[in-house]
Structure 1
C-alpha cells in the first residue's frame, strides 16, 4: 500500500522562515505538512494560503492538551481553516505528569470529551505518544493503556515509533495492539541509544528501527498517512529527503 506522506514542521523549526521550506518539501515529494504550535497560531488563514501556494495539504496538527480542554471550539475552527482532519495533542510536561492510574485515566477522559466535540464537526482527536506513556507505573500497568481505556474508541492514535523504541518497548507489538486505533504513523527513527549527534535521532532508515519488518503491520492499522519527524536535525533537508526516499523505496 502506498501512503500519503507528511512532514512534521517541528523538525525544521530552527531553520526559518518556515514558509520558504514548503516548496522545497513539495519538490521532495511530500503531500502535506503536520504543523505544531505556534506555526499556525498567529494567522491560520495565512498559513493555509502558504500551504495552498506550495501545493501542500494539512491532514492534522499538533496542539496543546489544554487547548482541547479549555478552548476546543477555537482549535476546531483552526482545523477547518487548515483543512485538517486530526487534532493531535502530543504531550504533557514532566511537571504535569503523575505516576498514578487515576491521572492517566483522567487524561484519557479529557481526550474523550474533546473527541466528542470534534466528531460532531466531522473531525478526529488523536493522541501522539512520547516515551513516558510506555514506562510502567508502580503496579506494572502502562499509562498508554489507561489513556485509551478511559478515552474509549473515539480517541485515535498517532503512533511515534521512535519514542516507543526509546522507551524500551517494541513498535511492532504496539502497532498490533492498537491497530484499530492508529490513524497516523510517525516514522521517527533513532540512532543507537546513547548517541549524542542530533540528540540521537536520525532520518528514517538510518537508525536502528527495521522499517522493512514493520511495513507489513502498517496495513493492519487504520492509518491513512505517514509522517516523518526528527527532533533536532543539523541538516533538515538531508533528513527530509532521506526519509521520504527510504519510505518510497519500501513501497510505502
Structure 2
C-alpha cells in the first residue's frame, strides 16, 4: 500500500500541532510535509522537540517546503532543519505575485535561479524540486506556459506536482504527467469541489469528494518516480473530516 503524507499547512488553523500529529498517526498516515511557518524560527531544541512529537506518533517529516529566498539566504539553517527533522526531499513552493515574470525569458531566468539554489541541497543528498500552484499553467502572451520555462532553466530539479492547482490553472493534468513525468518525485493529493460548492472552503474538497479523477490519476502517477503522496486542503473548516475522509478515499485508489 502506498504510504500517505499530510501537508501541515492544511492544519494551520487547528492548533496545536501535537493534537494533529496524534490524529494523523491514529488515522494511518505515515508521513507529514512541513512548511516554513512550522520550523523556520525554531532553534535546535525546538526542532528536536518537534521531531520527538512526530516520532511519538509514528510520523516522519519526509519532505518540507522552504521559500526560494530562505533556501537561497539560509543554506546552513535549511540543511540543519532538514537533517534534524529527517527529511529526504526539499521543495520550493511558491513565488509571490509581485515577483512573477511576465514573459518566457523571465521564467527561464527564475528556473536558472532555482537550479543554482538547488546545488548545496542536492550535494547534501536531498531531492530538490519545485511545487506548483496555478500561475505556472496560465498561458503567456506567446501561448507557452511558465512551467515549461522554469524547467528549461532548471534541468536538474524535480517536480512536486500539485494536480488540483494544475487543473485550476486551466491545464490537463494527464497531459502534463505524460510530458513531465520523469520530473515528478512527489504529488499533492487534493480535490476540487463542484462549481458553486464549498465556497466557505475556497472551493476545495476532501480527497475523493470532489471532481478530480484521482483513481485514473493514480494509475498514471504510479508510473512516475513519485515517492511522496501528500494530502492537502488549503482551507478546510473541519480538520477531522478532512484527515479521515481523505485517507479513506486514497486507500481505494
TM-score (norm 2): 0.95
Is structure 2 residue 48 aligned with structure 1 residue 38? Answer: no
**In 1, Cα distance between equivalents of 2:142 and 2:36:** 35
2:97 aligns to what SS in structure 1? coil
Superposed CA RMSD? 1.2
How far apart are residue 205 of structure 1 and its match? 0.6
The answer as to whether partners of 1:166 and 1:193 remain within 8 angstroms in 2 is no
Partners of 2:75 and 2:179 in 1: CA distance:
29
Q: Aligned partners of 1:52 and 1:64: how far apart in 2?
A: 25
Q: Counterpart of 2:201? A: 198
3-state SS of paired residue (1:16) = coil
Q: Matched residues in 2 for 1:102 and 1:70: separation? A: 24
Distance 2:223 2:6 in 1: 22
User: Is the 1:69–1:110 contact (alpha carbons within 8 Å) kept by the matching residues of 2?
Assistant: no
Q: Secondary structure at the match of 2:182?
A: coil
Cα shift at 1:218? 1.2
What is the TM-score normalised by the length of structure 1? 0.95
Superposition map of 1:1-252 within 5 A:
2-41=1-40, 42=42, 43-152=46-155, 154-195=156-197, 196-250=199-253
In structure 1, the gaps of 5 or more residues are none
SS of structure 1 residue aligned to 2:100: coil
SS at match of 1:178: helix
Task: Measure the CA separation in 1 of the matches of 2:152 and 2:195.
Answer: 30
CA shift for structure 1 position 50: 1.2
User: How many pairs does the alignment contain?
Assistant: 248
Shift of 1:194: 4.4
Cα deviation code 1:11-47 (max 9, x no counterpart): 0100111111101101100001101111122232221
SS at match of 2:242: helix
Q: Which moved more, 1:134-143 or 1:109-118?
A: 109-118
CA distance in 2, matches of 1:70, 1:29: 36
Q: Return the alpha-carbon distance in structure 2 between the equivalents of residues 116 and 248 of structure 1.
A: 36
- Take 1:36 and 1:70, find their aligned partners in 2: how far apart are those partners? 17
Change (3 A) 1:194 1:96: farther
